């Protein structure tokens, strides 16, 4: 039996999630996995409740992306009642949803991923935080991030009630429309947000792409995996967060399959490992071939870079320009560089802001026709949406009274669970040689992990806890010989 290295990201929530790295007898990495404990009883909790309550219950699964669950759930309830939202309701839902994506992506780039990217990768621990980012980009940019986020959040709050516990979505529509006065007010905010998204890409160009150390990391082998990719696209195969079909491309970028929400069980299966409660989704027709990359393995990736990889482009002009520039820089499509998730996230934020502007320039968005009242007997439905962190699937079955009988969710972070294990293993293999754990391991593994912006809250159906990272190096007798910790 070899040595085991344990990275425990959430130690204060006992057993809440950790990274296990297994070494072979010569002290080199054999494999690495992400372990998540199970939260029990979500389905039982939902069973025998009215299905229209689920858009209010499911956002509570996660304190980070409640809007994604709310919207996925709302779409699923539409499907259960076999009712389509009105055109205006669809526009309003997209307005709210793009606002959420914009706000979430900007928060991630500047404040969460920023410590990896904006501050140099080798920066001392004490600078690798948000205050280090502000020191680098300047107080003015920090103020701008805070102001723009607040204003965009106001759009969500206006249309959905509280941002943390949204209530705007109803089967067949939304609960609140937009007045002409508010349309004009929000349009100004959206134009400002679009400008800021462009400036943010400039910041990325100057600070990240202008630094060879970063470029080497982005294009280097440690953070590269040739996998399948999955994401929603519109009828022109352009990125869409709210609606469309799920498109999967193979590691060469060729379309592998395109399917509607109702067919998700035909395309996706979930692999179970005895050491983790987190499931590992894979493409059913390829099969589970272990934690391996390549065309023969059914592992796929979701989230920003995956969405760009499966699409033929962005539906808005400024984002399209940046899309082309990114692929030109990375040497074509698909891009397999995990750290390019950060770049793709900014391009998506720009697209979201452009789309918000488009929606608000359309005066018909103020139409009072915001709901189709359901008339059919509820049965079963599937709703798919692109959460900030990837493809999110809700599936409900009800009785004739609309009482829930079965619930299945495939959450975004779980979509990347197998790939995250691959990435962690690759970073660990590069940094642990002959039993010697490099001091940079913690940062490098964290960077592999954080590019996906994983949400353990979602993956475990739990709320987030604090995140010290701990690496325990175990010898062959399983005793800890070395501990590295970052709080």
Partner 1 sequence: MKTLVLGLGNTILSDDGVGIHIARRIKEKLPGIDVIEASAAGFRVVDEIIGYDKLILIDSIRTKNGQPGTYYKLGIEEFKTTLHHSSPHDMNMFDALELMKKHNAHLPKEIIIYAIEVENTFTFSEQCTERVERAIPELTALILKEQFRHDKI
Residues engaged in binding partner 1 (CB under 8 A)? 9-10, 12-14, 17, 37-42, 44-45, 57, 60, 63-64, 66, 107-108, 111-112, 129-131, 134, 139, 142-143, 146, 150, 153, 164-165, 450, 453-457, 461-467, 487
Distance CA 2, CA 18 (A): 19
Of residues 172 and 454, the one with the C-beta less far from partner 1: 454
Please name the residue ranges forming H helices in 362-440.
Answer: 412-415, 417-431
Shortest separation between residue 313's beta carbon and partner 1, angstroms: 28
Of residues 66 and 177, the one with the C-beta less far from partner 1: 66
- 82 is written with which tokens? 């076999």
Shortest separation between residue 54's beta carbon and partner 1, angstroms: 12
Of residues 357 and 455, the one with the C-beta less far from partner 1: 455
Shortest separation between residue 395's beta carbon and partner 1, angstroms: 17
Of residues 42 and 259, the one with the C-beta less far from partner 1: 42
Q: Which among 81, 68, 40, 49 is positioned nearest to 406, based on CA atoms?
A: 49
Shortest separation between residue 24's beta carbon and partner 1, angstroms: 29
Name the DSSP letter for residue 38: P
Of residues 194 and 461, the one with the C-beta less far from partner 1: 461
Distance CA 284, CA 168 (A): 35
Shortest separation between residue 481's beta carbon and partner 1, angstroms: 23
Shortest separation between residue 62's beta carbon and partner 1, angstroms: 8
Distance CA 77, CA 82 (A): 8
Of residues 154 and 320, the one with the C-beta less far from partner 1: 154
Q: How far apart are the first and last CA of the chain?
A: 31
Of residues 115 and 168, the one with the C-beta less far from partner 1: 115
Shortest separation between residue 19's beta carbon and partner 1, angstroms: 11
Q: Which residues are 271's β-sheet partners? A: 280
Distance CA 468, CA 125 (A): 13
Residue 187 burial by Cβ neighbours in a 10 Å radius (0-12, 13-18, 19+): middle
Of residues 79 and 163, the one with the C-beta less far from partner 1: 163
As a whole number of angstroms, the longest Cα–Cα distance in the chain is: 70
Q: Which among 343, 384, 371, 324 is positioned nearest to 169, based on CA atoms?
A: 371
Distance CA 122, CA 321 (A): 31
Q: Which residues are 247's β-sheet partners? A: 231, 258
Shortest separation between residue 472's beta carbon and partner 1, angstroms: 17
Shortest separation between residue 467's beta carbon and partner 1, angstroms: 5
SS3 479: coil
Of residues 19 and 239, the one with the C-beta less far from partner 1: 19
Distance CA 461, CA 464 (A): 9
Task: Tell me the C-alpha to C-alpha distance, in Å, between residue 464 and each of 15, 16, 235, 455, 469.
Answer: 13, 10, 36, 8, 14
């Amino acid at each position: 039996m070899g040595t085991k290295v344990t990275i425990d990201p959430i130690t204060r929530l006992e057993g809440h999630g950790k990274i296990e790295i297994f070494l072979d007898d010569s002290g080199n990495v054999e494999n690495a996995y992400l372990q998540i404990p199970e939260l029990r009883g979500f389905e039982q909790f939902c069973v025998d409740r009215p299905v229209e309550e689920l858009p209010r219950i499911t956002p509570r699964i996660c304190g980070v992306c409640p809007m994604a669950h709310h919207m996925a759930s709302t779409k699923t309830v539409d499907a259960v009642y076999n009712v389509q939202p009105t055109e205006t309701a669809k526009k309003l839902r997209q307005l709210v949803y793009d606002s959420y994506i914009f706000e979430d992506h900007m928060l991630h780039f500047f404040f969460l991923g920023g410590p990896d990217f904006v501050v140099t990768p080798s920066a001392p621990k004490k600078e690798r935080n948000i205050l280090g980012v502000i020191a680098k980009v300047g107080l003015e940019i920090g103020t701008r991030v805070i102001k723009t986020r607040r204003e965009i959040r106001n759009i969500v709050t206006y249309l959905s009630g509280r941002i943390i516990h949204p209530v705007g979505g109803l089967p067949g529509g939304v609960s609140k429309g937009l007045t002409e006065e508010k349309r004009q007010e929000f349009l100004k905010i959206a134009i400002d947000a679009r400008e800021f998204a462009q400036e943010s890409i400039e910041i990325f160009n100057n600070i990240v792409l202008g630094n060879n150390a970063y470029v080497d990391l982005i294009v280097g082998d440690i953070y590269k995996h040739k996998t399948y990719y999955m994401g929603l696209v519109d009828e022109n195969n352009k990125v869409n967060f709210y609606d469309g079909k799920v498109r999967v491309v193979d590691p060469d970028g060729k379309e592998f399959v395109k399917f509607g929400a109702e067919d998700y069980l035909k395309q996706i299966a979930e692999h179970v490992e005895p050491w983790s409660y987190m499931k590992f989704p894979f493409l059913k027709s390829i099969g589970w071939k272990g934690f391996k990359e390549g065309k023969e393995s059914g592992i796929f990736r979701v989230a920003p870079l995956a969405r760009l990889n499966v699409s033929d482009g962005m539906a808005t002009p400024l984002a399209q320009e940046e899309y082309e520039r990114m692929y030109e820089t990375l040497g074509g499509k698909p891009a397999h560089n995990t750290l390019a998730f950060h770049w793709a996230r900014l391009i998506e934020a720009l697209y979201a802001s452009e789309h918000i502007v488009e929606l608000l320039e359309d005066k018909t968005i103020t139409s009072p026709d915001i709901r189709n009242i359901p008339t059919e007997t509820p049965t079963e439905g599937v709703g798919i949406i692109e959460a900030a962190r990837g493809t999110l699937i809700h599936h409900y079955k009800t009785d004739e009274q609309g009482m829930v009988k079965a619930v299945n969710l495939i959450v975004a972070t779980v979509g990347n669970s197998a790939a995250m294990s691959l990435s962690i293993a690759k970073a660990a293999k590069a940094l642990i040689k002959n039993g010697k754990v490099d001091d940079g391991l913690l940062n490098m593994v964290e960077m592999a992990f954080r590019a996906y912006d994983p949400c353990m809250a979602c993956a475990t159906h739990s709320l987030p806890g604090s995140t010290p990272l701990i690496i325990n190096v175990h010898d062959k007798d399983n005793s800890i010989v070395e501990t590295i910790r970052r709080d």
